[in-house]
Structures are given as structure tokens and as C-alpha cells.
Structure 1
Amino acid sequence: MSSPQAAKYLAQIIITGGQVVIRAFTRALRQEFAASQQAAQKAGGGRQGARRAAADSVTGMSLQEAKQILNISDAKDKESILNNYEHLFSVNDKSKGGSFYLQSKVVRAKERFEMDMKDSDKKTVKEET
């Protein structure tokens, strides 16, 4: 095979490979966009849904999962959240034979509640003005 032919085949391979990568990247972007739209709709739609979806993605858990982890039925009961958090955090302390993984899930659940409370506080301030 001559050198110009080899260069031609190499160029074709590079172009074809580039097209495959671009198509895959475009498809992944479309899927991610659709998934974020679905998450926002499941969270209630509109701005509120977008905030919930963002909070879910930041903490890595939904409000429902945080309720289950901290064994809370009312997300606005700050005292129960704090009491359950402190109990579960201390029980899962590594020095007491607990699980660091479970302890981190407890921390993330508390953070998720805090994010939700912060959003509701901002909403309350906006409504008052």
C-alpha cells in the first residue's frame, strides 16, 4: 500500500471516529436534558420543581429518602429532625463500631432537610415583601 493511500484511510478512520463520538455526545446530552426535565416535573414542576431537583442532585437524595433515613414524617418538624439526626449520627460513629457509610447517609439526609428549609424560608420572605 502506498503512503498516500494509507494517509487517505487514516483520515477516513479519524473522521468516522469523530462522527461517532459527536453523535454519542449529542445523544448523551439529550438524555441528560430529558432526565432533568423529568426530575423537575416529578418534584412538582415549575420553579419549585426545579429547586427540588437541584437539591436532590446536590445532596444525592430526595426528600422522601431523607425522611426514611431520619425516620421523620413531617419535614417541617425541626426538633424531631435534629433529635433523630443526633441519635443516628452517634449510634453510627465508627469508634463505637458503627458504619461510616450510614453515618454519611444520615448527614446527607439532614443536609437535604436543611436545603428544603432554606428554600421555604426564602419563599416566605419573598411572600412577605
Structure 2
Amino acid sequence: MMAKYLARIVISGAQSIGKALAKTVREEIEVYREAARVHAAQSATNFTPSKTDAALNGMTLEEAQLILNVKDVLDRAEVEQQYRHLFHINSKTAGGSFYLQSKIYRAKERIDQEIKKIEALAKLQAKSESK
């Protein structure tokens, strides 16, 4: 009698775990598909900064990220915080150099330019999806 209840408990637990596992796998597949869709959309519109962008602006996006020490250019709060901090500590009154200040300014300018591109791309995609 006790073995019968124990077997039911084990089977019920196994079914619950199986359902949870299947749900997790479906969610992971959906996330993967969404990431692939976003990547394809970015590739189709040549989102990545080109060498001509770097030549025109004098700085690549990667250089700008390194100068401001930010990982994600879309995190505006972090970019703004790093910019203000670095710009302030490199002011002449703080014993810094104008050269470093100008590099920091150009890095922020380059990141802002990239954000504008991303926003314009998002608007275009939103318009095309709404049609």
C-alpha cells in the first residue's frame, strides 16, 4: 500500500519536472530565434560601424568605449556618468590636460552618434513592422 503511494508521488514529481523542463527548452528556443532575428535585421541594414565612419569621426566605437570605460553604449546613464567624471578629473583646474579632456569629449560624441543611428534604425524597423 505504501509503495503504491510512493510510486504515485515519484511519477507525479517526474511529470512536473518534465513539464518544467519542456517549458524551459521552448523558452530558450524562442529567445534564440528572437536573437537570430535581431542579428539578421542588424546585418541586413549594415548596422556595424564601417571604416569610413571611423575615418570621418576620427574614432571607432570601440575606442570610444575604451576611453569612457563603458561596456554597453546603450546604457546612457553609465555613459553620462563616466563622461562627467572623466571630464571633471581631467580639467586644468584639477591638474588634468586639455588633450585628455578633448579625447573624452570626442568619445562621448562618438557614442552619442552611434545611439542616434540605433534609434533611427529602430524607428525604421517599427515603421516597416507596422505596415
TM-score by length of 1: 0.59
Q: Which runs of 5+ in 2 are unaligned?
A: 1-41
Partner of 1:73: 71
Aligned residues: 86
The separation in 2 between residues aligned to 1:54 and 1:46, in whole angstroms, is 18
Q: Are the equivalent residues in 2 in contact too, given 1:55–1:112 (CA < 8 A)? A: no
- Cα distance, 1:50 vs. partner? 7.9
- Cα distance, 1:46 vs. partner? 7.4
Look up the equivalent residue of 1:57 and give its one-letter code. Answer: A
Q: Are the equivalent residues in 2 in contact too, given 1:85–1:107 (CA < 8 A)? A: yes
- Percent identical across equivalent pairs? 36
TM-align CA RMSD: 2.2
1:63 alignment partner, one of 61, 64, 84: 61
- Cα distance, 1:126 vs. partner? 0.6
Partner of 1:125: 123
Q: Are the equivalent residues in 2 in contact too, given 1:59–1:111 (CA < 8 A)? A: no
- Structure 2 vs 1, CA of residues 45 and 61 (structure 1 numbering), >3 Å: closer, same or farther? farther
- Structure 2 vs 1, CA of residues 46 and 62 (structure 1 numbering), >3 Å: closer, same or farther? farther
Superposition pairs of residues 88-99 of structure 1, within 5 angstroms: 88-99=86-97
Q: Which runs of 5+ in 1 are unaligned?
A: 1-43
TM-score by length of 2: 0.58
Q: Are the equivalent residues in 1 in contact too, given 2:49–2:61 (CA < 8 A)? A: no
- Cα distance, 1:59 vs. partner? 2.4
- Structure 2 vs 1, CA of residues 80 and 50 (structure 1 numbering), >3 Å: closer, same or farther? closer
The separation in 2 between residues aligned to 1:52 and 1:115, in whole angstroms, is 13
Structure number, greater radius of gyration: 2
- Cα distance, 1:55 vs. partner? 3.1
- Cα distance, 1:65 vs. partner? 0.6
